[in-house]
Amino acid sequence: MSIHQGSIHAVMSLLVMSLLWVSMASEARDTTPKLEKAPNASVETILSGFAELPPDVDAFPNQSNMDLYAWREFIALNWPAAPGTCEPDRSRTFLDTKGPRVWETWLQPSDVFVPPGEAPARWCSAREERARLGKIQQSVGGVLVDQNGRFVRYEVRLNEDAYNYLLANNLWNKAGQREATINLPAGPDDKFCKDQSCGPVGTVEVKAAWKVLGQGDDPSRFYTIEAEVYNDDLVPPTASPDPNPVTLGLVGLHIAHKTASQRSWLWATFEHVDNVTKSFNNPDCPETPSYTPNPPRPCTTRCCAPNAPTAAKDPETKTYVELDPFGQPLHRPTQVTRLRGPSSQRLNKHFKVLFGNSPWSNYELISNQWMGINPQTPTPTYLANTVMETFIQGQHPASDGIPAYPAPGYNPFSTRTSSSCIKCHSVAKTTSGRSADFSFLFSGAQ
């Protein structure tokens, strides 16, 4: 399948043909996933061919095709998981929101990068009755507070290809990383697991952002889970704010995927459509003082400074405390605004139609960053998720510039540096200080 560069009309036509209509030629050798009406059903369902993650972009390299591929990733990874296999359950439709999604069955870094004397968890062995989420700080800028005064929680997962590579090469511990050259698999042709393929799709890492659903939130608009939440500054359960458990709604999703054609990885990011209109934005609050390139500081007056931290650490414990002893929020909401919009609103609208009345229709692709014609410049140059890189959306605050990465002195963890997935991850290092091939996971080895 090929789409000519710059032809967004062709992309839309392809979507209409491949997603919204059923081929009448049943004998044709067409493996493109399609929408069909299930037997005895009054609604259309997405065919199970979408449950398979394609290992690479099989189309002309332009932004439209990269964005279309990002949606393929989104559907495949959010397909309902089969119990006990960590694979998509092809007997169910994508629109069935019950049970964990495929990516939720993957292991977390803490399952793999374990202390000396312990062994990494077996693949597909993570079984918890209820999720426990505690990471609250963004990579830059601190904590994000929603309109109900609750902290956003984050989690990271890695796929089986990455897991196999880490174990086959003894890279899950500091000793194994000491002299290692990191080259994560980009697909089935990379024989990096003791001269064998590490898996069928290449390395995939997922980062999710969740908000506690409360007053003013409609759970039917979100993909939700039941979870226990706590704060990452202290060891649970003593840090768990009451009440627990809570209902969490998915508000952001990063999908980072190393493929054979994109060895600097593909970086797709999705958000909930309510993020900058309701969940993290108060349209009635004046946005003063105006945004400046100076390091963000908490707003101390009755104002809503856009994209500025509002949570401060407790002066005694030196930690972020979310709720008081009576369960009431201690911090003002963060006023989140978007500085760079989605790269294809038309594509987002097509998938919104495809997803119908399901919660998935409330998610949108912001963009998919890739290495374009210029091999030293990411496309788009800047990319930020408003609930994951809230405080460093580009090109405001002051940008580090467009030049090649990593430029001398480049520091992605500064509030004066604009968010760019590829540029930020280009500085990732192992515990021995060697390049970690765009993955920060290696730094967690013990």
Contacts 24+ apart (CB under 8 A), 45-51: 45/93, 45/94, 45/95, 46/75, 46/93, 46/94, 46/95, 46/354, 48/88, 48/90, 48/93, 50/75, 50/76, 50/79, 50/94, 51/75, 51/76, 51/79, 51/88, 51/90, 51/94
153, 134 Cβ separation under 8 angstroms: yes
d(CA 418, CA 399): 5
d(CA 161, CA 196): 11
Taking alpha carbons only, the member of 94, 98, 86, 78 closest to residue 34 is 94
Mean pLDDT of 374-403: 83
pLDDT tens profile 81-104: 997 899 999 999 999 999 899 999
Mean pLDDT of 101-127: 93
Mean pLDDT of 236-260: 87
pLDDT tens profile 128-137: 678 889 899 9
Backbone φ and ψ of 347, nearest 5°: -65, -40
Mean pLDDT of 12-40: 38
Q: Which pLDDT band, with edges at 50, 70 and 90, does 164 fall under? A: very high
Which whole-number Å values give the CA distances from 418 to 248, 256, 343, 397, in the listed order? 29, 19, 17, 6
Q: Look up residue 195 and give its DSSP letter.
A: T
Q: Are strands 363-371 and 224-229 parallel, antiparallel or unpaired?
A: unpaired
Strands (E) across 326-382 are located at 363-371, 378-379
Flag whether pLDDT at 37 surpasses 50: no
pLDDT (0 to 100) of residue 194: 96
Rg, Å, the chain Cα set = 22
Which whole-number Å values give the CA distances from 298 to 63, 146, 248, 302, 316, in the listed order? 37, 15, 26, 11, 19
Q: Are strands 153-158 and 224-229 parallel, antiparallel or unpaired?
A: unpaired
Q: Are strands 224-229 and 131-133 parallel, antiparallel or unpaired?
A: parallel
Taking alpha carbons only, the member of 241, 243, 244, 223 closest to residue 231 is 241
Token representation of residue 409: 């002195």
Q: Are strands 204-212 and 131-133 parallel, antiparallel or unpaired?
A: unpaired
pLDDT (0 to 100) of residue 318: 83
